[in-house]
Amino acid sequence: MSNDLVPPHVELKRRDFQGEIDGHPVDLYTLRNRRGMVACITNYGARIEQILVPDRHGCLGDVVQGYDTLEQAIAGQPSMGAFIGRYANRIANARFSLDGVLHVLAANDVSTDPAAPRSNTLHGGKRGSRFIPFAATQTSPQAVEMRLRFEDGEEGFPGTLMLRVRYTVTDADELVIGYDAVAVDRKTVVNFTGHAFFNLSGDLGSPIRDTLLTVPSEEVLEIGPALVPTGRMRKLAGTPMDFRAPKAIGADLGADYDLLRLAGGYDIHYVLDREATGANRLHARAHDPHSGRILEVWSTEPGLQFYSGNYLEGRTPRDVGKGGTRFGFRSAFCLEPSHFPDSVHHAHFPSTVLGAGEWYRGEIRYRFRTDRDA
């Protein structure tokens, strides 16, 4: 797509995100670096609503799907741009046992299809962090801090959990998400991720099939019909899931492969660090050949969920975003660093258990540049 065909980005207005939800104030926070990069984040779900970065010609463009107003965000895609907790991704059968005690969770990923029935907890349940206003303070022109308290028993999870999330725009054209959480009073489980929907072209309604993706992983988690891991890890060599070398997202989307059929496209977890060492490592690299923009995702998390926008449908009002842009089928991709899905049921996965008084700390770093700089 030539640069002159890309629509201009929308200027988000703070007043359009100001309001109250359940008595808690909601606002929009704009972060800027010295090079012109901009990130707009609302404390409703700690959602990234906009990221402006230059293309290879130096023209600023918006590279994440989002909404114009708080009302649109509420009516929109439930995970779009959100910081996900207290437990990202799926927990099978909406229940788990911890120290012999069964915890029954809110089931919000449900299907009655006889061929693929499921009743899972997804992204923290019906009232996970994506639907809650965080307490927020902008600490500098380049940073905002957000806090949220999860109560003992909320959505069925045990223990009070205090979460702090810090968004920082650096002068290296990065958006850094630093987060930490403490189990206040009893043992619990935690899993966090960022859920930005990326389209590096700057045209947020255009297909992402041509985007070149690299994921330095040799294994994925096998999933079953309920879209949760079976516990087995599959080698990637010779399969459509292999992105160890740069490959267009759309190159193998039509392949006859069970993991693609089950998820309706890519919606799969890549293994980056089996031992969960906490090392900050490259999780993925995406390159839009039309705009020249490059995104690198670095994180301390052991795995990465790659989602190819399979449930974007251009539906009103859910999929109508900034400037009236319609978010059609596979018009964005998500790269979600986290612990492995359903770890509570697989002892050989890196543990997501957090003991009373223990802290969890993590980081996700979105690093932008262009192929002119490469």
3-state helix, strand, coil in the chain (%, to 5): 10, 40, 50
**pLDDT tens for each residue of 168-214:** 999 999 999 999 999 999 999 999 999 999 999 999 999 999 999 99
What pLDDT, on the 0 to 100 scale, is given for residue 4? 58
What are the helix and strand counts (H, E) for the chain? 2, 29
Q: Is the pLDDT of residue 3 over 80?
A: no
pLDDT-based confidence at residue 113 (cuts at 50, 70, 90): confident
Spatial contact of 208 and 331, defined as CB atoms under 8 Å apart: yes
Q: Which domain holds residue 304?
A: 3-370
Among 374, 215, 207, 371, which residue's Cα sits nearest to residue 291? 371
Is the pLDDT at 5 greater than 60, yes or no?
yes
232 preceded by a cis bond (ω within 30 of 0) = no
The whole-chain average pLDDT of the chain stands at 96
Instruction: Give pLDDT, residue 6.
Output: 81
Question: Is the model's pLDDT at 2 over the cut of 80?
Answer: no
**N-to-C CA span, the chain:** 20
High-pLDDT (> 90) share of the chain, %: 95
Distance CA 110, CA 105 (A): 13
If one compares 113 and 181, the residue with the highest pLDDT of the two is 181
CB 254 within 8 A of CB 242: no
212-228 average pLDDT score: 97
- The residue type found at 108 is N
Q: Which residues of 253-270 are buried (b: 16+ CB within 10 A; e: fewer)?
A: beeeeebbebeebbbbbb
Q: Does 374 have pLDDT greater than 80?
A: no
- pLDDT exceeds cutoff 80 at 360: yes
Under the banding of pLDDT at 50, 70 and 90, the label for residue 116 is: confident
pLDDT at 256: 97
Count of the separate structural domains present in the chain = 1
**Active site residue: 195, 269, 287, 290, which one?**
195
Kindly state the tokens that stand for 121: 């907890």
Give per-residue pLDDT as tens, 10-56: 999 999 999 999 999 999 999 999 999 999 999 999 999 999 999 99
Q: Which tens digit of pLDDT belongs to each residue from 139-176? A: 999 999 999 999 999 999 999 999 999 999 999 999 99
Distances (CA, A) of 75 to 102, 164, 321, 339, 340: 34, 25, 10, 28, 29
195 counts as catalytic:
yes
According to DSSP, residue 350 is labeled: P
- Which residue among the candidates 9, 269, 336, 339 is catalytic per the annotation? 336
Distance separating alpha carbons of residues 105 and 124, to the nearest angstrom: 9
336 is catalytic: yes
Are 207 and 248 spatial neighbours (Cβ–Cβ below 8 Å)? no
pLDDT tens for 250-295 read: 999 999 999 999 999 999 999 999 999 999 999 999 999 999 999 9
Q: Confidence class of residue 313 from pLDDT cuts 50, 70 and 90?
A: very high
Kind and range of the H or E run holding 70: helix 70-75
Domain CATH code at residue 133: 2.70.98.10
Does the pTM surpass 0.75? The reply is yes
- The DSSP bridge partners found for residue 235 are 219
Query: In one letter, which amino acid is 360?
Result: Y
Compute CA distances 177 → 14, 43, 157, 189, 305, whole Å. 21, 14, 24, 20, 17
Q: SS in 3 state form for 133-153?
A: ECEEEEEECCEEEEEEEECCC
Encoding tokens for residue 111? Answer: 């299907």
